[in-house]
């Protein structure tokens, strides 16, 4: 039997498999199985008992197995496995209210009490380490296909090939790795100079995977690289490796797929010292990888131009954003729309901050259902201040419709909008950071799509009053917002952080702060760099965690969309119930 690919074909991930853990704990005892399919109630898991409140609660660390938890508890007298589809489950007069399907164990322990251990039916965490000991591995991008399976792209460090362009597909329900592709460029010595990296990933309508980044090749240095893989098997379908005429640093920074399955990648080609070609868009035939067109955009100063993101609208036209260098204004936030069929430039908007010779740029772009364009990034409107900036443009003409600029309260404030999305109502959500007296603060802002009026803003600060950033944002089908990034905390340094907000009010619904197993230190840096929502509303985040023996690991985490849970253990003591 082949490896199950869809969520329906697979069971729980071994790390969260309650049934397997119970079997080991009972040491051969006959299991007492029970299942319940009860009415749905919107509440997190909780425990109560008539006349007696639980007197001891504990949450197991993410990396602690159920067996370890049981060993820390009392003698196991009996256990009962339950798989519930939601609703209220009565066990020994103890009510467990489930908001989503859960797998959990209920065990009677010596001393009087119930041990309840469980997980979301679909939550998991996977860490991938390259073959080089103490390697630096990072997931930089994530996408979800129509079946709920997950594709992550980034870099792994391996003993004989150095840093490698890496794409991994996981079963959406279990986290089981379905396939992995590791690409090493044709140049380099396998050391730190041998740099290959996947910076972006997308999935087409057929479920095939496209990743973009760069590979290091002999004689051409780093080359703009786009690779397409069969979604089912991971088989490489085609690869395009493009080199600028200067044989310098060329790279694909972003990738997307249009409705016809053709691939659009954006990045930089260095043509010469006077023509850096940093704002380049290339379209490839989805079936063959043949280049269909290429456009290089230059500012009027003929200097260094930069591209950061690309997307397509419903008509298949292409929008790219970044920064161009222009005479008299220095670096300007730049948005360009191209005809999807030919690459002909349809319009260009160049926005200059109010500060003299300001550095302004767009970090991300999205398109709403009407085809209007939203770009987010930075404008400098006073000396030494970067402002969190959101601008909306008419899709047909490029005419600016509205703009929103948010300044931090810190001296010489450094603020930036790093990510953007649009909900089903057309409202805009931007995420990034604002510098206040508490340092860089994790910031998410919702704006009315029609007017740009601020609907709500959430500015969150880690306990260290340091550097907190939202690096990615997504919305679910209900319009709720999920942002991912990192927070700096006094007890654990920089932490991989995912937060969900109510779409209407911005009230935080849940927060997950994840730690690797490495001890906190000044150099410990863990971060979520990408986030997506699957068809069921569960949340997937990708980035890096730091762990003992493996250093930085390519990390993908799936969380229950309702409460952010992954795995928890609760000890409920009822003295009067169990004398």
Highest mean pLDDT out of 186-190, 277-281, 391-395, 514-518: 391-395
- Give percent above pLDDT 90 in the chain: 64
Tens digit of each residue's pLDDT (9 = 90 or more) over 298-357: 999 988 899 999 999 999 999 999 999 999 999 999 999 999 999 999 999 999 999 998
Is the model's pLDDT at 38 over the cut of 70?
no
Residue 6 has a pLDDT of 52
Tens digit of each residue's pLDDT (9 = 90 or more) over 423-432: 999 999 999 9
Radius of gyration of the chain (CA): 25
Of 90-94, 185-189, 222-226, 269-273, the one with minimum mean pLDDT is 90-94
Helix or strand run (H / E) with residue 558: strand 551-559
Residue 53 has a pLDDT of 29
3-class DSSP state of 14: helix
Residue 526 has a pLDDT of 95
Beta 508-514 vs 454-460: how paired, if at all?
A: unpaired
Tens digit of each residue's pLDDT (9 = 90 or more) over 478-535: 999 999 999 998 888 899 999 999 999 999 999 999 988 888 776 689 999 999 999 9
Of 29-33, 137-141, 212-216, 317-321, the one with minimum mean pLDDT is 29-33
User: Would you place residue 270 in the very low, low, confident or very high pLDDT band (cuts 50, 70, 90)?
Assistant: confident
More reliable by pLDDT, 41 or 532: 532
More reliable by pLDDT, 76 or 485: 485
- Round to whole Å and give the CA distance between 209 and 218: 27
SS3 of 488-534: the string is EECCCEEEEEEEEECCCCCCEEEEEEECCCCCCCCCCECEEEEEEEC
Is the model's pLDDT at 63 over the cut of 60?
no
Of the candidates 553, 576, 546, 570, which has an alpha carbon nearest to the alpha carbon of residue 114?
Answer: 570
Residue 229 has a pLDDT of 99
Residue 15 has a pLDDT of 36
Transcribe 300-339 into DSSP letters: TT-S--EEEEEEE-TTS-EEEEEEEEETTTEEEEEEEEE-
Q: What is the mean pLDDT of residues 365-369?
A: 99
Tens digit of each residue's pLDDT (9 = 90 or more) over 251-266: 999 999 999 999 999 9
Q: What angle (nearest 5°) sits at the alpha carbon of residue 258, between those of residues 544 and 476?
A: 50
Tens digit of each residue's pLDDT (9 = 90 or more) over 117-134: 555 556 899 999 999 988
Q: 326: which 2 tokens?
A: 């222009």
What pTM value is reported for the model?
A: 0.81
3-class DSSP state of 166: strand
Compute how many other C-beta atoms are within 10 angstroms of the C-beta atom of residue 537.
Answer: 15
Q: What is the mean pLDDT of residues 45-63?
A: 30
User: Would you place residue 112 in the very low, low, confident or very high pLDDT band (cuts 50, 70, 90)?
Assistant: very low
Of 65-74, 183-192, 315-324, 404-413, the one with minimum mean pLDDT is 65-74
Is the model's pLDDT at 579 over the cut of 90?
no
C-beta separation of 278 from 297 below 8 A: no
User: Would you place residue 458 in the very low, low, confident or very high pLDDT band (cuts 50, 70, 90)?
Assistant: very high
Residue 269 has a pLDDT of 86
Residue 474 has a pLDDT of 99
More reliable by pLDDT, 46 or 364: 364
Transcribe 91-113 into DSSP letters: ETTEEEEESS-EEEEEEEETTS-
Of 26-35, 81-90, 441-450, the one with minimum mean pLDDT is 26-35
- Round to whole Å and give the CA distance between 406 and 446: 12
More reliable by pLDDT, 311 or 90: 311
Q: 62: which 2 tokens?
A: 């993410």
For residue 128, the Cα-to-chain-centroid distance in whole angstroms is: 16
- Round to whole Å and give the CA distance between 234 and 149: 13
Residue 273 has a pLDDT of 64
């Amino acid at each position: 039997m082949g490896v199950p690919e869809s969520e329906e074909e697979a069971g729980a991930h071994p790390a969260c498999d309650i049934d397997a853990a119970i079997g080991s704990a009972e040491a051969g005892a006959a299991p007492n199985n029970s299942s319940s399919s009860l009415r749905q109630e919107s509440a997190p898991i909780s425990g109560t008992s008539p006349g007696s409140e639980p007197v001891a609660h504990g949450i197991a660390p993410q990396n602690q197995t159920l067996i370890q938890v049981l060993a820390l508890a009392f003698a196991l007298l009996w256990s009962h496995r339950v798989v519930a589809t939601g609703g209220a489950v009565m066990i020994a007069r103890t009510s467990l209210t489930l908001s989503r399907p859960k797998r959990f164990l209920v065990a009677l322990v010596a001393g009087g009490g119930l041990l309840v251990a469980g997980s979301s039916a679909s939550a998991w965490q996977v860490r991938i380490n390259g073959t080089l000991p103490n390697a630096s591995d990072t997931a930089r991008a994530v996408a979800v296909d129509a079946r709920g399976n997950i594709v992550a792209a980034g870099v792994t460090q391996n003993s004989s090939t150095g840093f490698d362009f890496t794409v991994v597909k996981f079963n959406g329900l279990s986290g089981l790795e379905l396939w992995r592709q590791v690409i090493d460029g044709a140049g380099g010595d396998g050391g730190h100079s041998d740099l290959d990296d996947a910076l972006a990933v997308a999935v087409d309508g057929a479920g095939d995977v496209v990743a973009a980044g760069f590979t290091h090749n002999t004689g051409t240095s780093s080359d703009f690289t786009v690779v397409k893989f069969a979604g089912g098997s991971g088989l490489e379908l085609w690869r395009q490796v493009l080199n600028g005429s200067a044989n310098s640093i060329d790279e694909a920074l972003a990738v997307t797929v249009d409705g016809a399955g053709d691939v659009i990648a954006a990045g930089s080609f260095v043509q010469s010292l006077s023509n850096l070609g940093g704002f380049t868009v290339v379209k490839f035939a989805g079936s063959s990888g043949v280049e269909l067109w290429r456009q290089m955009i230059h500012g009027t100063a003929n200097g260094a131009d930069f591209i950061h993101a690309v997307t397509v609208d419903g008509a298949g036209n292409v929008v790219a954003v970044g920064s161009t260098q222009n005479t008299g204004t220095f670096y300007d936030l730049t948005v360009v729309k191209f005809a999807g069929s030919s690459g002909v430039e349809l319009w260009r908007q160049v926005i200059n901050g109010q500060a003299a010779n300001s550095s302004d740029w767009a970090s991300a772009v999205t398109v709403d259902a009407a085809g209007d364009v939203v770009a987010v990034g930075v404008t400098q409107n006073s000396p030494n201040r970067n402002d969190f900036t959101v601008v909306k443009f008419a899709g047909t003409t490029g005419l600016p419709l509205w703009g929103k600029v948010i300044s931090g309260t810190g001296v010489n404030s450094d603020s930036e909008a790093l990510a953007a999305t649009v909900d089903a109502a057309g409202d805009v959500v931007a995420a990034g950071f604002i510098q206040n007296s508490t340092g860089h603060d994790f910031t998410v802002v919702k704006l009315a799509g029609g007017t740009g009026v601020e609907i709500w803003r959430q500015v969150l600060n880690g306990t260290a009053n340091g550097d907190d950033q939202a690096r990615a944002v997504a919305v679910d089908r209900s319009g709720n917002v999920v942002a991912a990034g990192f927070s700096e905390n006094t007890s654990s340094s920089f932490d991989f952080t995912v937060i969900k907000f109510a779409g209407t009010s911005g009230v935080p619904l849940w927060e997950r702060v994840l730690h690797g197993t490495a001890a906190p230190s000044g150099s410990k840096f863990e971060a979520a760099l990408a986030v997506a929502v699957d068809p069921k509303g569960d949340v997937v985040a990708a980035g890096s965690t730091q762990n003992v023996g493996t250093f930085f690991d390519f990390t993908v985490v799936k969380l229950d969309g309702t409460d952010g849970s992954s795995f928890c253990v609760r000890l409920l003591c009822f003295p009067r119930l169990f004398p």
